[in-house]
Structure 1
Amino acid sequence: MFEWTQAFADWLIYKVFNIAPDSSLGEALNFFVYDTIKILVLLFVIVFIMGVVNMYFPIERLKNYLNRKKLYGLEYLLGSTFGAITPFCSCSSVPLFIGFVQGGIPLGVTFSFLITSPLVNEVAIAMFLGLFGWKATLIYAGSGIILGTLGGWILGKFNLEPLLSDWVQKILNNSEADTEEYQDDSKQSLVQRLPDITKEAWDLVKGILIYVIIGIGIGAAMHGYVPENFFAEYLGSGAWWTVPLAVLLAVPMYANAAGIVPVIQVFVAKGVPLGTAIAFMMATVGLSIPEGTLLKKVMSWQLIAIFFGVVTLFIILSGFLFNILL
């Protein structure tokens, strides 16, 4: 889908600027150009689609359906499963998170999506199957979905909506205030509404642009300048503390699940236990500093700390479990 973006990044960095592809600077700049364009395009498209959805579909009915007690928590499983089948990294998932919140989806369900989406996707599953076999793949995919389901359910019980940022609160208030206006204009065609939808999408992109650039810049620097051997050296002993250490070391990193799987293969080949390596992978794709930087636009620091704390605890527990089962 984004092959053209990668081709452009390769052309710009390696041909126009004539930076060596195998250099740390070349890898970092290529990563920065590729992911910046990809995420900004995703952000605009997703927000634009959510604008159409908000105008044409009964969001209130969906909210009421998801809040019914008779679902017995299945709404969190649905959110987590949807996250597993969408091929987004942590930073790419943030635009969808914004769209879900703006559309009125319960925050806990939205968190289930946000947790699982970067952890599990079909490309990573295919690679995992080829590298580590079906047993490890099933444990990896199943644990990612369970992690998202339980994490969303727990976070949903905390009533965290007041901890969303003032910027999101303003969006939600404007959305509620505009509901009657949308109903009054229901006879307008999509073509007539396109200018307003497009403007709202572009305004949102401008509002989050600086956070996207800062977040991806941090990730690009880590991607280009942190050697794989640095981590393998400290995580190969198999001691109990290596799982928490793996998670802590992974947080400054930034990569999607498909991109980090080959790195995990290197870790395992150098003696790192598979469970510890998987915990590192999950923390890399689900707890990155760039993701936290992006989330600052939509969450307070307190909410980010709660979110990261719950997910960190679950990933550490999963790492211990993986080392026992694998």
Structure 2
Amino acid sequence: MENKKVNENTEKLPVLNFNKQYMNNTKISRILSTKPILLDETYAQLRIEINDKIINLVDVWRDENITLSRDDITPFDLAVMDAAYTIMCSGKMILTAEWIAKVLSGNPKQKITKKKIEAIRQSIDKLRYIHIQIDCSNEFNYRKDTKNKISDFKYESYLLPLDKITAVYQSNGKEIIAYPVLSKPALYRYAETIHQIVDVPADLLDTHEEYRDTDEAILIKRYVIKRVAQIVSNNKLNSNKISFLWYDREENEERGLFPELGYIPDNTRSWRNKKQKINKIVKMTLKSLKDKGAIKSFEEYRENDTKNPAFPIMGYKIFYGL
């Protein structure tokens, strides 16, 4: 139903309530939002090595004759997908950009600007027209819980399978654009099957007393909170660090907050100021998590693991438990 006007009696949006936030923790989601996957030619095929024994084949394409706001999938798009999935998990099968804005920030009382709503709507409208097919047959035949049970398995849907309506309330004439959910996104059905959905208490994302929820701050804090959730859960991580930048020799690629959120370090004063701002948001987010009892403490670590202030801060060590 595209742009159909309905009255308050037939299409009244429910109140949004949620206790947890959910984030996709798959390698596929990370690669989609960090690698240069351009859809200007409508189609991209990815070969994603989960490890030396597992390879997933992922096809991504857009509908023909559709002009996208951008031809790539960004960390912001992934955050919008996580927020949409969180709303679905709360039991709602209809979404609005206003709801997604509140989920993104974690602040239900946030005053939402028209600019932010427009950015979210552009992201939603882009994700509604991008298909994904995940051929995870190889992975399912390797994993213990699905081994020898499925010989051929693929998930397919739009990145956000949503319809679109315009609701106009008779009582006040207010127009609301809403997006009924057609199905659960394939990327999240896949993540559920392999147990790679991170969930955190919703209040951990409410940091409005620490800093203003700009789009940049929201992406940074969501990265930090997701990483902390990985560290404190029993997922056999070998590191308790939130790193700004490190080199993964197994994957032969740069990892960490900077590359995964699209930052490109250089030697300019502008970058030094930007890095300082990023560090401040990371530190205040960790302080908020400590105050709420999610972690015991944290401390910065520097290049070469030295405490010498002459060396740059490379990230933070997280301490938790008794």
Same fold (TM over 0.5): no
Question: Whose strand fraction is larger, Structure 1's or Structure 2's?
Answer: 2
**TM-score, length of structure 1 as denominator length:** 0.26
**TM-score, length of structure 2 as denominator length:** 0.27
Question: Whose helix fraction is larger, Structure 1's or Structure 2's?
Answer: 1
